[in-house]
Amino acid sequence: MQIKRVDHICIAVRNLDEARRTWEPLLGKDKPDDVYIDEPEKIRVVRYWIGEVGFELMESLTPDGEVARFIEKNGEGVMLVSLNVDNTRKAVKEFQEKGYPFIPDSRGGFVRPFRKGEFAFLYPKKLNGVLMELIDDDGLESSGSLLQD
């Protein structure tokens, strides 16, 4: 397993449209480079490329979603750091062998599908409170606009 780069950083926000108005001028962007809705994770996301690293703003679709719970507990802010790996399944196996716990999905598995790849979450308690994601999707494909610009 190889960690290739920091893939993306996620900021949990209460209102995605308001957050876009705040962040886009700072990032030098007039619209996101990628937008998507992830129904299983209950999130709506906009992504901006800063070099090879994605900078994401994400809003919960439901009051009981992980992003909503994070905001209720911690307030808005950095929620996740994602590392791009060559193979998520191999990375999960290697890290489990080293004692790193992963967060199961609703089916009880650790690896979840995303576009052409897969991802998994490590428990933040093991990593100084940081929610880490391992992902093998190349992240360069845009899903098209799912949000109103």
Name the 3-class secondary structure at 146: coil
Q: Report the C-alpha gap between 97 and 86 in whole angstroms.
A: 18
Domain boundaries, the chain: 3-135
Sheet order of strands, 77-85 included = 34-38, 43-50, 53-60, 3-12, 77-85, 131-135, 117-122, 112-114
DSSP 78-128: EEEEEEEES-HHHHHHHHHHTT--B---TTS-S-EEETTEEEEEE-GGGGT
Taking only the tens of pLDDT, the chain with its 149 residues reads 889 999 999 999 999 999 999 999 999 999 999 999 989 889 999 999 999 999 999 999 999 999 999 999 999 999 999 999 999 999 999 999 999 999 998 888 899 988 889 999 999 999 998 999 999 976 654 443 333 33
In the CATH hierarchy, which top-level class contains the domain 3-135? alpha beta
Cα angle 16-44-18, degrees, rounded to a multiple of 5: 5
Are the C-beta atoms of residues 5 and 20 closer than 8 Å to each other? no
Residue 70 one-letter amino acid: F
pTM: 0.84
**Radius of gyration from C-alpha coordinates of the chain:** 15
